[in-house]
Amino acid sequence: MLLLALLCSLYMGWSMGANDAANCVGADIGSGVMPLKTGIIITCVFSFLGAVFLGGQVIKTIGKGIVPLNTLPADQAMLIAFAAVFGAATWVALATYWKFPVSTSHSIVGGVAGAGLACHTTVIWEKMLHIVVCWIATPLGSAVTGLLLYPCLAWLFRLRFLRKSGEKLVIILIYLTSVYLAFTWGGNDVANATGVLTGTGQFSPNQAAVIGALAIIFGVATWGHRVIETVGFHITNLTPLMTVTVEIASSLNVHLYTVWGIPVSTSHSIVGAICGVGLMSGLKAVNLRLAKDIFLTWAITPLVAGCISWLITRLVLLFW
In which band, very low, low, confident or very high, does the pLDDT at 145 lie, cut at 50, 70 and 90?
A: very high
Q: Work out whether the CA dihedral 57, 62, 68, 69 comes out positive or negative.
A: negative
Mean pLDDT, residues 136-149 taken together: 90
pLDDT value for 313: 94
Mean pLDDT, residues 293-318 taken together: 88
In which band, very low, low, confident or very high, does the pLDDT at 283 lie, cut at 50, 70 and 90?
A: low
Q: At a CB cut-off of 8 Å and minimum separation 6, what does 316 contact?
A: 79, 82, 83
- Residue 1: CA count within 13 A, CB half-sphere: 20
User: Measuring CA to CA, how many Å separate 6 from each of 28, 193, 207?
Assistant: 34, 9, 12
Going by the DSSP 8-state scheme, the letter that residue 320 receives in this structure is: -
Instruction: Reply yes or no on whether the pLDDT at 234 is more than 60.
Output: no
- Among 62-66, 133-137, 267-271, 311-315, the least confident range: 62-66
CA 245 to centroid of chain Cα atoms: 19
Torsion of CA 210, 212, 214, 217, to 10 degrees: -140
What does the pLDDT look like over 113-129, one tens digit per residue? 999 999 988 888 888 88
Instruction: Reply yes or no on whether the pLDDT at 259 is more than 90.
Output: no
